[in-house]
Amino acid sequence: MRVSEVWEQVAQDEGGRIVLLVMDGLGGLQLPGKGGSELQVARIPNLDRLAAESSCGLLEIVGAGITPGSGPGHLALFGYDPLRFMVGRGVLGAMGIDFDLAKGDVAARVNFCTVDAQGRVIDRRAGRIDDATNRRLAEKIRAGVKLTGAQFFFQTEKEHRAVFVLRGADLSDALADTDPQHTGVPPHPVRATSPEAEATARIVADFVAQAAKVLQGEPKANMLLLRGFGKYHPFPTITERFKLNGVAIADYPMYRGVARLVGMEAVPPPGGVEQRFETLERLWGRYDYYFLHIKHTDSRGEDANFDAKVAALEEVDAYIPRLLKLNPDVLVVTGDHATPAALGRHSWHPVPFLIRSRWSTVDEVTRFDEVSCARGIFGRRRGCEMMGLALAHAERLEKFGA
């Protein structure tokens, strides 16, 4: 029996309200000349005070040395071990645009791209066409492509990005990306990576060929690149597993998608940090579990902009008193992975976390940063263990065994 199966067995319908505040890419790294990591340098008096009143620790989101993508990172925080619950990026993309996936659908992420007269990719993002152009071309593809053997859906995401979904019997997602990841070469042909995907590969190849014809003559977006094929298997929801009625307050499709995948409701994108906290206030009392996602901490880390990431952390810090006015029974603050500005990308480094509740042991930690939280009473643990702690502190788990 797994620890998470015990949570499922002893989870109660009633209990406290949990807020999960995710600062995307929270974890950082010391940068020479800056005097510490982003969190060590940031002036975050409210988060520091929270740390002083809370139980703290470090999350190794997936496992030792593993750099999580956003999907696994968030699944872990929601209590889904990413080593057991795997999901293709295409599925997340489809969920993120509120596409209603059915069991067995195969989804892929799409880039509109530009190819030259020889069919070589010269811009993998088709000059970042605007949303209106994307919608016009998607409509053209839906009208102009006729498949046999399966039904397809083609939906605009934003800019040059779209989602492709294939629906039919016995489809397989064992398909290689057609995106060559660099320019100067043609897109890869659609290729099955396993014999049972041959039929699906033929249908997708037919789709790509017909779409290319439809897009012929377009100045920028004259071809498609597909990647991250994934077959949709519904996950057990957080309601089924943990008896939680959850809501996601997030702007970006990816995060809304992964939240919907585990059965949260995803309210319309609030459109800004302040608006996200306002939305939380507005929804307060309607759910048991509130997932509030902050994106720009990660974005500034990916920009390799240390000072901007520090500023992003300080901006979020200023909203903490407002959040505390709601008096959540359990407040968790953490991230889905590290994005050190020093690296300019996601990393494997541990992510600080704190749980503030009436039942939290107050440990020695008085600063919310990587080094301070290493002394926390929660120690270092895998990301997917945090949900059990949050449920326990919300008095949502009964005793195990007599």
Asked if 22 interacts with a copy of itself (CB under 8 A), we say no
Nearer to a copy of itself, 286 or 400 (CB): 400
- Tell me the site size for a copy of itself, rule CB under 8 A: 71
The span from the CA of 266 to the CA of 257, in Å, is: 8
Q: Please check whether residue 355 is in contact with residue 320, taking contact to mean a CB–CB distance below 8 angstroms.
A: no
Asked if 226 interacts with a copy of itself (CB under 8 A), we say no
Q: What letter does residue 31 receive in the DSSP assignment? A: B
Distance of closest approach, residue 39 Cβ to a copy of itself, in angstroms: 11
Range 342-401, binding a copy of itself (CB under 8 A)? 342-343, 345-350, 359, 361-364, 370-371, 374-381, 385-393, 397-401
Burial letters 95-122, b for 16+ CB under 10 A, else e: bbbebebeeebbbbbbbbbbbeeeeebe
Asked if 228 interacts with a copy of itself (CB under 8 A), we say yes
- Report residue 358 as tokens: 């009436």
Nearer to a copy of itself, 182 or 399 (CB): 399
Q: What letter does residue 201 receive in the DSSP assignment? A: H
Range 175-194, binding a copy of itself (CB under 8 A)? none
Range 301-340, binding a copy of itself (CB under 8 A)? 340
Distance of closest approach, residue 68 Cβ to a copy of itself, in angstroms: 6
Position among 17, 20, 37, 259 found at the interface with a copy of itself (CB under 8 A): 37
If we measure between CA atoms, which residue out of 374, 238, 393 comes closest to residue 330?
393
The span from the CA of 159 to the CA of 123, in Å, is: 14
Q: Which amino acid is at 362?
A: V
Q: Alpha-carbon Rg of the chain, whole angstroms?
A: 22
Distance of closest approach, residue 344 Cβ to a copy of itself, in angstroms: 12
Asked if 235 interacts with a copy of itself (CB under 8 A), we say no
Asked if 205 interacts with a copy of itself (CB under 8 A), we say no
Range 83-112, binding a copy of itself (CB under 8 A)? 83-84, 86-89, 92
The span from the CA of 268 to the CA of 94, in Å, is: 16
Q: What letter does residue 190 receive in the DSSP assignment? A: P
Asked if 124 interacts with a copy of itself (CB under 8 A), we say no
Nearer to a copy of itself, 328 or 350 (CB): 350
